[in-house]
Structure formats: structure tokens, C-alpha cells
Amino acid sequence: MDLNEQQLRNRLAGRAIGGTVCFFPEVDSTNEVAFELALTGASDGAAVVADTQRSGKGRLKRRWLSPPGCNLYTSIVLRPPLKPALAPQITLVAGVALAEFISQYCRGYVSLKWPNDVLIRGKKVGGILTEMKAAGADIDFVILGIGVNVNMKKDSFDESLVQTATSLREETGGNLSRLDFTVGLYDSLERNYDMFIREGFSPVRDKWLRYAAWMGKRVRVVFGGEVLEGEVMGMGGDGALLVRDGTMAVKRIIAGDASLREG
């Protein structure tokens, strides 16, 4: 196994993100473990890493395939000095951090699908799931969950995902050190999260748009029981997806699930 707790602790000692890290051979969900740790006082930046998950979670209660020995499954406790309404922006911060880091391996082929997917050549390689606990009018903590297909082989993907998912191994032709990958990702996340806290969302938005998938493309967005079809125009200053509908009105989508419309 190329990941263990002692290696992670040695490499991450003193870091703002991952300086406190717990490794598990198997968990139901790293987000659930991190949530429980946060409830008992885990510090800002504390991280959970697992070799496999029995019940990995994606957005909208989807299952995240989590086989052992090949990928990265991690969740991080964040305690940002923000109001709860701004918590969704952390998903976009993490997307930028992951896209920037993965671009070192696949420069020019990495893109971001709003709000939480990282793609290589249009196929999903990583996803982000954030969960928040508020304390009155403020955030108590946010759990930032990240899953990345690192060394997964094509024949290991579920049949339903073969055409839409990929891994870094499939894209680069070789296995990567998951230890190095984890440390590098945390470094990228620390830089971008610090920028977000210090400077606000504007520089994050600028970076996100450089990687934006589907700009000018037609999409179908499902949100709050409604469906909107239209052309992606960009991202609002708060992170909302901007979609121009058939009446030429530009709608702001704060949360939803977007898919590309062909033709």
C-alpha cells in the first residue's frame, strides 16, 4: 500500500491543511468520519484519508465508487470565518485547487464542470462534496470531501461509467504515488483556500473560468424541482451559474445538476 498514516504525518507535519491527519484502511465515508471529528473539536485543516469507502458519497445522494488501493478519498475539516450563504463557494475553491494540481499531469486537458466535477478530456476524474454545520448566523464547520480517480484501471469502472469517467493512470499511462498526489493536492488547496479567505471569491472566480467547461454550450439544469435549458454564459460574482434561456433572459442558478445537451 502506498498510503499510510505515518507517511502522511511525516510529509504533512506543520501544514495548515493535513497537519493533523487520520488514515483508515476502510470507512463507510470519509465525510462522515470527518463530520464526527469536527463535532468533537477537530481543528481547521484536519484531514481524513481512507484507502477505500464502503459507502462513498457524491452529490445528490449518488454513490461514489471507492475501490481499495488505487484512488484518493479524503475529507477535510474547515472552519472558515464566513456566513453560511457563502459556504457553496468552498466547493468552487476546491475545484480550482484540484484542476490546477491535476493540470501538472495533463496540461491543457483539464476542465471544471459546475459546480463540483473535475474533467480530463471531458471525462470525470474527480468530484467534490461539501457539507456544512452552522452555528447560529455563522458557520461552525464545513466538511470538504474530495474523491479522485488516481490509479484506477478502465476495466475497473462500473459499466455505466466507462464512457464518462477516467483516471490519471488512464490519461498519463502510468501509476502515480498516491502519497505524493495527496501532499500536492493539499498544497494546492491550502494556497487557493488562503487566497479565498484573504481576498474573497473574485480571484477564485477568475481562475475557475479559465478551466470552465461548456462555456457557450447548451445545458439542462435541474434545480429545486425545476428544469432549465439554455446556453452557459458564465459565472456570477457569487458563484452562481449563468444560463441564458429561450427567452434570452439570463438566469442565475445557485445550486443544481447540469448536463450537456447535444445539438
5-210 placed in CATH 3.30.930.10: yes
Q: Answer whether 122's CB lies under 8 Å from 156's CB.
A: no
pLDDT on residue 211? 96
What are 249's three cell numbers? 433572459
Cα separation, 150 vs 153, whole angstroms: 9
Q: Where do the structural domains in the chain lie, given as residue ranges? A: 5-210, 218-260
Q: Answer whether 125's CB lies under 8 Å from 102's CB.
A: yes
pLDDT on residue 159? 76
* Cell 481562475 -> residue: 207
The answer to whether the peptide bond before residue 115 is cis (omega within 30 degrees of 0) is: yes
Q: Which CATH architecture fits 218-260?
A: Roll (2.30)
pLDDT on residue 56? 62
What are 202's three cell numbers? 473574485
Using 70 as the pLDDT threshold, list the residues of the chain that sit under it: 1, 56-64, 262-263
pLDDT tens-digit map of 63-110: 657 789 999 999 999 999 999 999 999 999 999 999 999 999 999 999
Reported as type and span, the H/E element at residue 253 is: strand 250-253
Cα separation, 257 vs 42, whole angstroms: 31
pLDDT on residue 162? 74
pLDDT on residue 130? 96
pLDDT on residue 161? 75
pLDDT on residue 66? 75
